[in-house]
Amino acid sequence: MRKPFSLFPILVLTAFPVCAEFTIPYPDNSNKKEIPVLESSPEAKNKPQSVSKEREKKEIRLSSRNVSEESEKEAPKEKLKKFFTRPTNKGTYGDRPKFYRGLYVNNSLISDKSRKNEWESLLKDASDYGVNVLVIDLQPKTPPVEEISRIKGMGFYPVGRLVNFDGGLKTKYPSTEKLNSIFGYVRKACLSGFPEVQLDYIRYADVTDIDLSLKEKYNNINEIVNRIRGEANQCEKLPYLGADIFGRIPFNRDDQIGQKVENFAQLVDVIYPMLYPSHFYGQPGRIANPYQTVYDGLKNTRKRSLSTTKVVGWIQGFGMSLGPSGKSLKDYIKAQIEASVDSDSDGFVVWNIVGKYGDTFRAIEESIQSGKLKLEE
């Protein structure tokens, strides 16, 4: 059953000072009645919502996707151990895992025929290690229904990642052409059979010349998400809707990019904070302690969300800034996985833009062997 999306009159967001820097965690609020209610366009179709539902300078461009990839040593194939065997046809349309154990999949890995062997190898390894979620780019070429059906038949829950405003919105409101492009990819995702669409870069740019108050930024982002929801509601089978937020957002009360946990908790079914520890520029303690960074970010997101909102963290599967932690990439990933479990979140998705997941698989293996990571669906 999907939860009805509120149609009652809604109050106007109150603007607060932008908090670009943060050095202490967001305080406990235990879901106090501080959730700002939203303004939406009259043309937005607010149909039911699911029950379970950089500054471009380094110092504040936290959790951007534009990171340099350091090479990682792949796990020898002969050492890969199969942990999990799925029943045939597990993962039918709309079934969501209780706990996401996910990997990011670059669009070219599926759409480039010369990478077919690489794609098949990743699918096999992911299945062997109990991965149950694949976050797959919808752009530039949305995978066909036949491929998404095959993936679901293998037991994976596919999530379609949709980049809305690459680098963030740099105008007061997106053009009609841009919105139509976004809506078009939502329709393509539905036709391909994706049970969930994840909105990435659903925010303003860190640095722009836009003369907009914080309240106006919030309201515009809220309206855009509502309009995307309206488009998704035209699909034959209603997809869940997720949204990526910067890693600093769970720690900030308000932010100049127009993202706020409380807003997204009302608008989407899944919130994905991008908690890559390496991206907490100017906060060496967070870079050096991947466990605590992910734990705090997920806990804060959970406290500021609705009880029906899933919270799934993007975690770091690449070798940037590992030195201060004294950990190998495998152990860095393992710490983040275990923080995802301990924080009572709804899972994790590992980001590695080139799809090299050998260290991730080793980290999953050790977390399973220690009893920390369970494989129940």
- Report yes or no on 366 lying in a domain: yes
The mean pLDDT value of the chain amounts to 83
Nearest-CA neighbor of 101 among 155, 29, 28?
Answer: 155
- Report yes or no on 86 lying in a domain: no
- Report yes or no on 58 lying in a domain: no
| pLDDT at 240 exceeding the cut of 50 | yes
- Report yes or no on 322 lying in a domain: yes
* Owning domain of residue 255: 100-370
pLDDT in tens, 50-60: 433 333 343 33
- Report yes or no on 262 lying in a domain: yes
What residues contact 73, with CB distance under 8 A and at least 6 apart? 358, 359
Quickly state the pLDDT bin for 283 (edges 50, 70, 90): very high
Quickly state the pLDDT bin for 368 (edges 50, 70, 90): very high
Task: Identify any residues that bridge with 14 across adjacent strands, giving them in sequence order.
Answer: none
- Least confident range from 95-99, 159-163, 177-181, 324-328: namely 95-99
- Report yes or no on 65 lying in a domain: no
CATH of the domain at 285: 3.20.20.80
What is the spatial distance between Cα 329 and Cα 70, in angstroms, rounded to a whole number? 10
pLDDT in tens, 255-264: 999 999 999 9
- Is the pTM of the predicted complex or chain greater than 0.85? no
- Report yes or no on 88 lying in a domain: no
Q: How many structural domains compose the chain?
A: 1
pLDDT in tens, 110-136: 999 999 999 999 999 999 999 999 999
The answer to whether 321 and 284 are in contact (CB under 8 A) is no
| pLDDT at 168 exceeding the cut of 60 | yes
- Report yes or no on 268 lying in a domain: yes
| pLDDT at 20 exceeding the cut of 80 | no
